[in-house]
Amino acid sequence: MGMGIRITEDGPYIVTGGVPIYEKRIVKRDGVYVWEDGRELPQSEVYALCRCGRSDNAPFCDGSGHKRFKGTEKADRSPYSERAERLEGAGIDLMDDVRCGKAMFCHRHGRSTWDMLKDSDDPDVRNELIRAACECPAGRTVAVDKDGNVHEDTLEPAIYIVQGPEPGRSGGIYVMGGIPITSVDGEVYEVRNRVLLCRCGASRNMPFCDATHINRMFKDTRGGSFLRKKD
């Protein structure tokens, strides 16, 4: 079976095709956010990833937590090019669909991607802006030259289980490299290089992460700590 992710009704994501899976922490180093290795996760041909946030075997589904979970998909399915706004910069433009998981890669050396737009005729600022746009795991931002050339890194298909950037908190599921994601109703979402799926069970834009996990103080252990805020 080829690589793919199938969303099940009020249940887990079924991942097929031996997609490599890694746990990664987002940490700030020298003014930029970077990925750091987390726990080693078992690799297999087919696996089920928790979507409700309550598994005791996170990031994998343990079959128990989602019994009361409602995972109705609400996200707009129109293509990124239609949903995103094109923001004009001095030297380069930025596409932005506001689909944010607060992974923070859009902040580099104290400046945000949007703030850099106005000085992006400076080659150094332009390069920083391109890095910031390309590293957003949610695929929210895409840097586009004035002649329409799109900047996008070549990413091998893989899944990152996100931890951080807030210490001790968990984030979404970074799906990279164009792995197709199939809805409960059988429709395939637009295939993209970078997509961030929700795994806390609380997004208002399912299946995608909308950063609700931050307010819920989501931690992917012991059945999801947003149920136990005193943890």
Structure tokens at 114: 């949007």
Among 93, 97, 210, 220, binds ligand FES (CB under 6 A): 210
User: Based on CB atoms, which residue is closest to ligand FES, 89 or 165?
Assistant: 165
The residue ranges of DSSP E strands in 101-169, in sequence order, are 107-108, 111-112, 141-144, 150-151, 158-163
**# of chain residues touching ligand FES (CB under 6 A):** 13
Letter string b/e over residues 46-58, b meaning 16 or more CB atoms within 10 A of that residue's CB: ebbbbbbbbbeeb
Amino acid at 1: M
The first and second tokens of residue 106, run together, are 């859009």
Q: Please tell me whether residue 159 adopts helix, strand or coil conformation.
A: strand
Nearer to ligand FES, 165 or 172 (CB): 172
Note whether 224 binds ligand FES by CB under 6 A.
Answer: no
Which residue(s) pair with 32 in the sheet? 29, 108
Minimum distance, C-beta of residue 137 to ligand FES, in the bound complex (Å): 11
- Residue 172 as a binder of ligand FES (CB under 6 A): the answer is yes
- Name the helix (H) or strand (E) containing 116: helix 113-116
**For ligand FES, the closer CB: 53 or 89:** 53
**Interface with ligand FES by CB under 6 A: which range of 64-72, 73-81, 141-149, 205-213?**
205-213
198 scored as a contact of ligand FES (CB under 6 A): yes
| Residues of this chain that bind ligand FES (CB under 6 A) | 101, 171-172, 198-200, 202-203, 209-213
